[in-house]
Amino acid sequence: MKINFKNIKEAVVLVIPQFSDTETLRYEFRFTKMLFWVFLYTIITALFTIILLSITPLKNIIFHFENEELKQQVEKQLSLKIKFAFLLKRLNQSLQLIKS
């Protein structure tokens, strides 16, 4: 199945509101123009959201649970690091005893 991009480029989207007026307006949009506006809206919304979350304190409210979990993970990593250092020290002492 071949896709004919020329037909897609020339496609038209019709919007006909259903009002009870006697005169109904038809809105005709080219598919490419509509696709452009949807893409532009998406980019602007994404940039606005990124800026809003990076500048304002809103990010602390939204990512509050993630921050708490990260703090707990850091505490666990520190305690494991201390335990590992203790075990490594004991292992080195045991090796020294075996060698001598």
**At 23, is the secondary structure helix, strand, or coil?**
coil
In tens, the pLDDT along 32-91 reads 888 899 999 999 999 998 888 888 887 777 777 777 788 889 999 999 999 999 999 999
Give me the phi and psi of 14, to 5 degrees please.
-100, 130
Give me the phi and psi of 91, to 5 degrees please.
-65, -45
Which position has the higher pLDDT, 9 or 37?
Answer: 37
Domain boundaries, the chain: 1-60, 63-100
Tell me, what's the pLDDT at 22?
66
Most distant CA pair in the chain, distance: 105
Predicted confidence band at 1 (pLDDT cuts at 50, 70, 90)? low
Does the predicted model carry a pTM greater than 0.85?
Answer: no
